[in-house]
Amino acid sequence: MRFAAIRCVFAVLASCASPPAFPVPPGPPKRVVLDVQAPLHPLGTWSTVTFSETLRGELARYNVVVVRRSEQPDAVALVDLGRFTYRSWQEIDVSLDENDRVSELGRIRVPDLSMTTTDVAAQTVATLIAKRLWAFEPPQ
């Protein structure tokens, strides 16, 4: 009985991993630089570092590699983790700079900017960036 319960738990956990939102084209990976900005810099960089690491993992699912600016990236992903306001929700703004041409990719509304919320939002941010890098979305 105990073995069946453990198998059931592992089956549920294995089914939680979602596949990429679109089929990833074969070939060499796209190269992107992440520029993640916090709403208030004095609050610390732990939120941007944690979000960047989560986003790096999500982008890897789409064959996108995060590199430094000195490594000839295909684009720079600009992610603004919201503004310091007294609203009941926050926004994560995502844009992409390709050869000094900035394209707004989207705005994601979130209830707060906690680490859990931004980690979940990283899935959507990665999808927006990867779709544009792989040319599934026309430039704006």
**What is the tens place of the pLDDT at every residue in 81-98?**
876 665 656 888 999 998
Q: Are residues 117 and 110 in contact, defined by beta-carbon separation less than 8 angstroms? A: yes
Domain count across the chain: 1
pTM of the model: 0.79
Looking at the domain assignment, is residue 138 inside a domain?
no
Residue with tokens 């796209």: 30
pLDDT value of residue 100: 86
Could you tell me the residue range of the domain that residue 62 belongs to? 2-133
CATH code of residue 74 = 3.40.50.10070
Looking at the domain assignment, is residue 61 inside a domain?
yes
For 60-79, write each residue's pLDDT tens digit: 999 999 999 999 899 999 99
Looking at the domain assignment, is residue 88 inside a domain?
yes
Residue with tokens 């979305």: 137
Looking at the domain assignment, is residue 60 inside a domain?
yes
- Amino acid found at 113: L
What's the rounded Cα separation, in Å, for the pair 25 and 37? 30
Task: Check residue 94 and give left, alpha or beta (phi > 0: left; psi -120 to 50: alpha).
Answer: beta
Looking at the domain assignment, is residue 140 inside a domain?
no
Looking at the domain assignment, is residue 85 inside a domain?
yes
